[in-house]
Amino acid sequence: MTDAFESMDRMYRLQRYFYDATRKYYLLGRDRLLDEMDVKAGERVLEAGCGTARNLIILAKRHPKAHFYGLDASSAMLETAQAKVDAAGVKNITLKTALADDFRFDSTFELAKPFDKIFFSYSISMIPPWRESIENALQNLASGGSLYIVDFYDQRDLPAFFARLLKWWLSKFHVTHWEGLMPFLGEMRGRHDVKIEPLYRRYSFLAQISSK
């Protein structure tokens, strides 16, 4: 457990300073997710693996009457995130150091009710216990709530050399498109409404899982 905290801190201790400037070119689909999330006044929205809080700050400015929460395994990343939140002057964001597979709306965030929306933006591909993290997110979601995931897909519709190069590059950052992920999301159909949309020739995907 503590390994995940330490390894993310090691990875992001320096990267956090140039993270936002570099990632905007290849974490594709994040803005699409933020645009599609229909956040209502009073809702509680959590990002699991929020990094520098780039997504949360955009949402918090757009929906000042909702409250946004972020958790991340790296407290170094969250130091940068908190500085960015303060600089943006937004007051509706709360950040906590925690693991995606091991948080609870009540004990981690001191909330009386579960979240209305939870999203993973390019974090599920870095989380080896991804199944447990998705199940934990669903357990912390209010009935009628939605879970969203945007992340790298299998690049099957892109030129083979590009897909190979990208996979090699991403492996340096411990990023993997988990083979079992799509079947796992597919098996949720029946209990949940599951929409999966490939983006940019399967470079990435956007999934929405809503309770029926």
Ligand X SMILES: C[S@@+](CC[C@H](N)C(=O)[O-])C[C@H]1O[C@@H](n2cnc3c(N)ncnc32)[C@H](O)[C@@H]1O
Q: Which residues contribute to the site for ligand X (CB under 6 A)?
A: 4, 8, 12, 23, 27, 30, 48-51, 54-55, 71-74, 77, 99-100, 121-123, 126-127
Taking the complex as a whole, the smallest distance from the CB of residue 170 to ligand X amounts, in Å, to: 10
Of all residues in this chain, which one has the CB nearest to ligand X in the complex? 51
Q: Count other C-beta atoms under 10 Å from residue 117's C-beta.
A: 24
Q: Of 132 and 197, which has the nearer Cβ to ligand X?
A: 132
Q: Of 71 and 209, which has the nearer Cβ to ligand X?
A: 71
Q: Of 53 and 144, which has the nearer Cβ to ligand X?
A: 53
Taking the complex as a whole, the smallest distance from the CB of residue 123 to ligand X amounts, in Å, to: 4
Q: Of 73 and 209, which has the nearer Cβ to ligand X?
A: 73
Q: Of 87 and 112, which has the nearer Cβ to ligand X?
A: 87
Taking the complex as a whole, the smallest distance from the CB of residue 135 to ligand X amounts, in Å, to: 13
Q: Which of 70, 67, 185, 73 is nearest to 119 (CA)?
A: 70
Taking the complex as a whole, the smallest distance from the CB of residue 189 to ligand X amounts, in Å, to: 26
Taking the complex as a whole, the smallest distance from the CB of residue 54 to ligand X amounts, in Å, to: 5
What lies within 8 Å, CB to CB, of 23 at 6+ separation is 54, 122
Q: Of 55 and 140, which has the nearer Cβ to ligand X?
A: 55
CA distance 67 to 201: 34
Q: Are 204 and 29 in contact (CB under 8 A)?
A: yes
CA angle 147, 94, 145 (to 5 degrees): 20
Q: How do strand 204-211 and strand 141-152 relate by DSSP bridges?
A: antiparallel
Half-sphere exposure of 159 (CA within 13 A, CB side): 3
CA distance 1 to 5: 7
**Dihedral sign, Cα of residue 34, residue 206, residue 170, residue 135:** positive
Taking the complex as a whole, the smallest distance from the CB of residue 166 to ligand X amounts, in Å, to: 14
CA distance 43 to 59: 12
